[in-house]
Chain A
Amino acid sequence: MNRNHNTTGRAWGLIAVLVLALVPGAARAATLKVVTTVTDLAWVVQSIGGDRVQVTALCKGYQDPHYLQAKPSYAKDLKKADLLVFTGLELEVAWLPRLLDTARNPKLRPGSSDLVDASAAVDGILEIPTGPTDRSQGDIHPLGNPHYVLDPRKLIPIGEAVSRALADADPDGAEAYAAGYDRFKTDLTAKIAAWETRAEPLRGKPIVAFHKQWEYLADWLGLDILDYIENRPGVPPSPRHVSELIDAMKAKKAQLVICAPFVDVHAAEEVARRGGARQVVLPSSTGGVDGTDTYPQLIDTILGRLLGDGS
C-alpha cells in the first residue's frame, strides 16, 4: 500500500516537472534574446532590460562596423533572436542583410516590428546630403552620418524606442522596461551634465580626425574639426592632401589628431608629428579598448584621452 502511494506520488511529481518544463515561463521568468549590431546599443538594451534580456552584440567595440565580415556563424545568434536593434543609416549594409537572409528568423523578416532601426528615434542626423551625391566623394553614407552613438544625448530617445520594442516583444515585462527606461534616462542625463562640465576646456579646440566618424562627438562637445586625414571616406588620402592638411594644422594651431584603433594609426601618428599636434587614439564603441566595458566608461575614456589628463 505504502509502495503504491510512493509510486503514485513519484508519477505526479514527474508529471509536474514535465509540465513546468514544457510551459514556458511557468517555472522561470522569460528571457528575451536581443541581438544588436554594435556594443553601444547592446549597453542601452541591457541597461533598460536588466535581467529580463540576454543581449549579444555582433560587432565588437574594437571592430570597424562598416566592414564586419558576414560570417555565417553570426547568423546563429540572429536565428535565435527575439529582437534585433541596429544602427541604421546603412552603417551595417555590407553585412547585416546577408546575415539576416542566412538566419531566416521569422521574427526578423522585412517589415517586422522586431527589427528596430535605432536611427529612426534620433533627431538631428548630421550630414544628410542636400546636393548631388556620388562616390567621387568616397564611400559616403547617402542617408546621413550613422555615428550618432558618440553623442550620448542621442541615446535617450533610442532608449525610449528600445523600451517600447522590448515591451511589445515581452508584454509581461512592460512595467519593468518602463521603469528601466526611467532609470536609464535619469542616470544618463546626470552623467551627460557631468561630462559636459568636464569637457568644457575642449570647447572650440581645433582638431583633425582620421575618418568621418567623430562629428556627433564634436557637435556635442563643441570641438572644431578642421579637416580629415581621409578626406573622402574609405579612400586613402593623396600625398598632396596630407601636405595641405599639415600646413593647415600649423596655420590654425591644431592641437589633436584623433583616430579609432582600427584605422591606420601610424598614418595618424605621422600627420600629428608633422603638424605639431598630439595624436589621440579614441575608442569609438563600448569595448573599443580596455576599460570601456560600459558606455559611460567609453565616454570617460574618450574625455580622459582628449583632455590628456590620464583618466
Chain B
Amino acid sequence: MKTRFLGLLLGMAVLLPAPSRAQTSTTATGVSNALNPAISMNGLFEGTWRDPRGEADGLTIREVEMAMTSIVDPYFKANVSVGYEPDRTGPGAEVALEEAYATVLTSLPSGVGLRVGRMLMPFGRQNQLHTHAFPFIEAPLASRETIGPESAGDVALEGTYNPDFPWYMNLRTWLGDGAVEGVYDGASRDLAEGARLENLWDLSEATSLEGAASFWGGPGLTGERRRFYGADLRVKYRDPRKTYGRAAEASAELIVDTGDGREDRVGLSTLARTRVGRRWWVGGGYSLLSSIPEGTTDRVSAHEVRGQVAFVPSEFSALRLELVWLDPVVSDTELSLHAQMNFTIGPHPAHAY
C-alpha cells in the first residue's frame, strides 16, 4: 500500500503541467525550481523466452529508475535513486528506495572520505552496479545465487581512504545495519561490516589492470554469522586516440559465501566483450556455482554461459540480445533468449570507468 502511494506521488510529479504564463515572483510564492537537483531517469524493458517455458517469460518492464543528485550545502552532496519494478509473475509492483546517501564534502584528516545512508554495498564488482548498468541482462549465476538477482544495498556508514602509492589504491570500509533482504537478517540487532581494497595499474596508456579483494559479513538468516569473501580482476583496453576506436575488457570475479549454518558456496563469473563497430559490441560470459544442495551431501557445480550482441545508438540508449544456457544441476538444463531496451533521459551522466 505504502509503495503504491509513493508510486502515485511520483506519477503526479511527472504529470503535473508546466505553468502556462510567467511565474509570480518566487520570493512571494516560495515555489521555486532554481536549485532543484539534477534528475535523470532510466527505463529497462525486456522480453524473455525460455525453453522450457517459465512463468517470467514474456514482455515486461524490468525497472524504471529515477536518480537525483545535488549539492546539499558546503558540507554534503546527496544522491537518491528510486526504482519501480513490477512483479514479473503477477499484477503487483514495488517502488523501492535503491540508494539515498550523503557524501561528506569537507576536508577530513588524511583525505578520508565518508558516505552515510542507504547505498549499494561495494562488495565485489557486480554488486556495485545498478540494474541498467549490468554487463549482461541478468546478474551472473554466481551473484544471483549468493547475493541475489539485484545488487544488495544496506544503510551504512562508509569510510574511504586512498594512500599515496605509485599506483591507484583505494580502501573502503563500512559498517551497515545488516538488514539486507534475502542476505542478512533484518530483525537481528547485529550489524554488518565489510571492506574492499581496490587497485588499478596503468599497463600502458591504453590498457589498465584492476585487482580487488572484498569482505562482507553480517547476521545470517539462521542466526549464525554469514560472511562473503570476494576477489575480482579486470583488464581493460581502449584505443585512446580514437573516439570510437577499438575497446575490449575481460574480467573475473570470485565469491565465497560461508557461514549461516550451511556448507560453503563458491561462485566464479567471467566476462569478455569487445567493440566491433562504432555502435556494436559483442561479449560472452561464463559463471559457475559450486554448492551442496539442500537435502544432499554431494558437492555439485551449476554452470551458465551467456553470449550477447549489443547495439548502442548513442550514450543514452542501447538494445541488447542475449542467449543463455543454464545447467542448474538440480533440474533440467534451460536455454533462454533475452532482449532488452534501455534508455536514459536527463543530464549527461558521468561515466563509471
Whether B160 pairs with A63 at a CB distance below 8 angstroms is no
Tell me which of B103, B238, B351 contacts A101 (CB under 8 A): B103
List residues of chain A with CB within 8 A of the CB of B235: none
List residues of chain B with CB within 8 A of the CB of A261: 241
A239 interface residue per 8 A CB criterion: no
Tell me which of B111, B170, B243 contacts A263 (CB under 8 A): B243
Whether B168 pairs with A72 at a CB distance below 8 angstroms is yes
List residues of chain A with CB within 8 A of the CB of B240: 60, 62-63, 69
Interface residues of B in 89-145 (CB under 8 A from A): 103, 105-107, 111, 113
Which stretch in A104-112, A179-187, A302-310 binds the other chain? Answer: A104-112
User: Most chain-A Cβ atoms within 10 A of its Cβ — which of B103, B105, B313, B350?
Assistant: B350
B71 interface residue per 8 A CB criterion: yes
Which stretch in A9-17, A25-33, A88-96, A197-205 binds the other chain? Answer: A88-96
Whether B353 pairs with A72 at a CB distance below 8 angstroms is yes
Taking CB as reference atom, which chain A residue is nearest B277?
A236
Tell me which of B113, B242, B352 contacts A262 (CB under 8 A): B242
Q: Majority SS of interface residues in chain B?
A: loop
A66 to B314, CA, bound (A): 13
List residues of chain B with CB within 8 A of the CB of A170: none
A291 interface residue per 8 A CB criterion: no
B291 interface residue per 8 A CB criterion: no
List residues of chain B with CB within 8 A of the CB of A104: 111, 113, 160, 162
Q: How far is the CB of B203 from chain A (nearest CB, A)?
A: 11
A247 interface residue per 8 A CB criterion: no
A292 to B161, CA, bound (A): 39
Known: A63-B240, A70-B353. A235 touches B348 (CB 8 A): no
A90 to B347, CA, bound (A): 10
Tell me which of A63, A93, A105, A110 contacts B241 (CB under 8 A): A63
List residues of chain B with CB within 8 A of the CB of A67: 243
Which stretch in A41-49, A73-81, A115-123, A221-229 binds the other chain? Answer: A73-81
List residues of chain A with CB within 8 A of the CB of B316: 135, 139
List residues of chain B with CB within 8 A of the CB of A73: 167-168, 200, 202, 208
A50 interface residue per 8 A CB criterion: no
Tell me which of B167, B202, B242, B351 contacts A70 (CB under 8 A): B351
A234 interface residue per 8 A CB criterion: yes
List residues of chain B with CB within 8 A of the CB of A93: 347-348, 350
Whether B71 pairs with A236 at a CB distance below 8 angstroms is no
Known: A69-B238, A71-B208, A235-B314. A95 touches B351 (CB 8 A): yes
Taking CB as reference atom, which chain B residue is nearest A288?
B241
Taking CB as reference atom, which chain A residue is nearest B347?
A93
Whether B314 pairs with A139 at a CB distance below 8 angstroms is yes
List residues of chain A with CB within 8 A of the CB of B299: none
Known: A110-B77, A234-B314. A94 touches B349 (CB 8 A): yes
Interface residue count for A (Cβ, 8 Å)?
Answer: 39
A264 interface residue per 8 A CB criterion: yes
Whether A109 pairs with B202 at a CB distance below 8 angstroms is no
A263 to B348, CA, bound (A): 21
List residues of chain A with CB within 8 A of the CB of B168: 72-73, 75-76
B74 interface residue per 8 A CB criterion: yes
Taking CB as reference atom, which chain B residue is nearest A72?
B168
A98 to B348, CA, bound (A): 13
A97 interface residue per 8 A CB criterion: yes
Whether A262 pairs with B243 at a CB distance below 8 angstroms is yes
A151 interface residue per 8 A CB criterion: no
A79 to B107, CA, bound (A): 12
List residues of chain A with CB within 8 A of the CB of B353: 69-72, 98
Tell me which of B160, B170, B202, B243 contacts A64 (CB under 8 A): B243
Q: How far is the CB of A232 from chain B (nearest CB, A)?
A: 9
Whether B278 pairs with A106 at a CB distance below 8 angstroms is no
Tell me which of B170, B244, B315, B352 contacts A264 (CB under 8 A): B244
List residues of chain A with CB within 8 A of the CB of B162: 75, 79, 102, 104
Whether A264 pairs with B111 at a CB distance below 8 angstroms is no
A92 to B220, CA, bound (A): 44
Interface residues of B in 313-348 (CB under 8 A from A): 313-316, 347-348
B4 interface residue per 8 A CB criterion: no
Whether B350 pairs with A70 at a CB distance below 8 angstroms is yes
A261 to B162, CA, bound (A): 36
Taking CB as reference atom, which chain B residue is nearest A106?
B107
Q: How far is the CB of A156 from chain B (nearest CB, A)?
A: 30
Interface residues of A in 206-254 (CB under 8 A from B): 234-236
A155 to B278, CA, bound (A): 34
Interface residues of A in 234-288 (CB under 8 A from B): 234-236, 261-264
Taking CB as reference atom, which chain B residue is nearest A232?
B314
B53 interface residue per 8 A CB criterion: no
Taking CB as reference atom, which chain A residue is nearest B247?
A69
B262 interface residue per 8 A CB criterion: no
Whether B278 pairs with A110 at a CB distance below 8 angstroms is no
A71 to B352, CA, bound (A): 9
List residues of chain A with CB within 8 A of the CB of B71: 110-111
A101 to B351, CA, bound (A): 12
A261 to B240, CA, bound (A): 11
Whether B315 pairs with A139 at a CB distance below 8 angstroms is yes
A152 to B316, CA, bound (A): 34
Nearest first, the 8 closest Cβ-Cβ pairs linking A and B are A106-B107, A64-B243, A98-B350, A97-B350, A72-B168, A73-B168, A104-B113, A70-B353
Q: With contacts A69-B238, A69-B240, A93-B348 known, what are 5 further pairs, Cβ within 8 A?
A: A63-B240, A67-B243, A139-B315, A263-B243, A264-B278
Can you spell out 17 A-B residue pairs with CB atoms less than 8 angstroms apart? A63-B241, A66-B243, A67-B243, A71-B202, A73-B167, A73-B200, A93-B347, A98-B351, A104-B111, A104-B113, A104-B160, A109-B74, A109-B105, A111-B71, A135-B314, A139-B314, A264-B278
